[in-house]
Structure 1
Amino acid sequence: FERIGLQNVAGYQLKSARRSLNILFQEWGNRGIHYWEIDELDLDLIEGQAEYDFFRSSDDGTSATSTPNGVYGISDVLEAQLRSNRTQTTQSDSPMTKVDRSTYAGFSNKLSKGTPNQYWIERFIDKVRVHVYPTPDSSNASKDMHFYYIKRIQDVGDYTNATDVPFRFVPCMTAGLAFYLAQKFQPQLTQQMKLYYEDELARALAEDGS
């Protein structure tokens, strides 16, 4: 609020700022990959099963069995491998190809069994569904689908919570919040705050690595 010249902030303005910060984090998801939100897991494949769901939160449903367990909030899958002997020194990965909806729709029998080598990610409001093709046969059901995924940035929640961003993104988060608040409370400053925000965000993204 200081950046847009407001003092003596009331309760309504604090609630408005929290809403704006949540929207800002959602907007970052549309900007591209933020590497601090990338994680990995091993999905337990089941013979003949083509679909595996990962929910937004435990309130929406129970995610598919994986290591680690209880994975929620997946936004997208970046890359995947078929992994055998996960816990052994003989561990081996085979690459799996990510396909689009049209390619997956063209498979004549989506329940055919074999060695999984392709996958399609279907994104819903409350979950992400991983489609595997072909489905694992008996010799591949003991293997895992190892993949890297993007997590959703956590909502702000309580006022005392720490934000789910690394320190290098704090300047652009602050500038972005000022930009969003200017639209509501100081419209004449909107363009100026937007320039500050875009400048800070560009620097943070340039520094962010894999």
Structure 2
Amino acid sequence: MATSGTYAFTLDLSDILEEAYERAGLELRSGYDYRTARRSLDLMFLEWQNRGLNLWTVQEDTQTLTAGTGRYALSSDQLDVIEASLRTDDGDADKQTDLTMSRISVSQYSHLTNKLTQGRPIQYWIEKDPGAIALNVWPVPDDAVTYKINYYYIQRVEDSGSPASNNVDIPARFLPCMAAGLAYHISVKRPEASDRAPLLKEVYEEQWNLAADADRDKSSFYMTPGGYSRI
């Protein structure tokens, strides 16, 4: 039996919008249909990131610390920090060391007696502004050594963009969920498709659960009193 031998199936933006309109029982006819669907798609990407952690959006970055400075603004594509460690002797194969840092809340930070204390940073809290986030460390770095924070963050999903030939910034396993979700959002906006909205919503949620389950961390772990460890 002959098969294609390829593993490259994807959908560009025009294919995605056309599929979604067909599921809603509609046709993509005008430039306005294209613009309103693309707007719904970008809103849906933001909705996905509010639903929880999507592993394909997890990226790694570093931030060099400056003595006497406790606040560091991060780039606007970084939505949250999920893990951070303090690195010393960066690049030295014999001496480089990463020490886990504890994340604290703004309430816990506010209860610190002396926020200007300098030393080796051991804690951080994330300040979320409308445009970007900032990493705040405590104690404030001293000048004993050069500190660098190595951290993993959630990256914002790229905008869909204008050209219909664009590919979207998601893995192929999320394409069924994306098509189902966009079809649902289109049906909510178009009165002639509103009767399909409940069914499309149900399909969308089913596809989301399937995709989210496929995207979860599958490493084994066991729990012990006081915390957990991965194996």
TM-score after normalising by structure 1: 0.89
C-alpha contact 1:82 1:145 (8 A) present in aligned 2: yes
SS of aligned partner of 1:162: coil
2:82 corresponds in structure 1 to 78
Q: Distance in 2 between matches of 1:184 and 1:116?
A: 50
Percentage of identical aligned residues? 37
Q: Pick from 99, 104, 108: which aligns with 1:103?
A: 108
Q: Distance in 2 between matches of 1:80 and 1:37?
A: 16
1:46 corresponds in structure 2 to 66
Q: Pick from 167, 190, 198: which aligns with 2:197?
A: 190
**What 5-or-longer segments of structure 1 have no aligned partner?**
57-72
**What 5-or-longer segments of structure 2 have no aligned partner?**
1-20, 218-231
1:199 counterpart letter in structure 2 = E
C-alpha contact 1:175 1:200 (8 A) present in aligned 2: yes
1:34 counterpart letter in structure 2 = N
Q: Does 1:37 align with 2:19?
A: no
Deviation at 1:9, TM superposition (A): 1.8
The structure with more radius of gyration: 2
Q: Pick from 162, 183, 200: which aligns with 2:207?
A: 200
Q: Distance in 1 between matches of 2:134 and 2:160?
A: 26
* Runs of 4+ with >6 A deviation: none
Q: Distance in 2 between matches of 1:8 and 1:155?
A: 20
TM-score after normalising by structure 2: 0.81
1:68 corresponds in structure 2 to none
2:45 counterpart letter in structure 1 = F
Q: Distance in 1 between matches of 2:182 and 2:38?
A: 9
Q: Distance in 2 between matches of 1:166 and 1:117?
A: 35
Residue correspondences, number = 193
2:160 counterpart letter in structure 1 = V
Q: Deviations over 1:141-161 (max 9, x none)?
A: x12011110001111112322
Q: Pick from 128, 132, 138: which aligns with 1:127?
A: 132
Deviation at 1:8, TM superposition (A): 5.0
Q: Distance in 2 between matches of 1:86 and 1:207?
A: 35
C-alpha contact 1:77 1:147 (8 A) present in aligned 2: yes
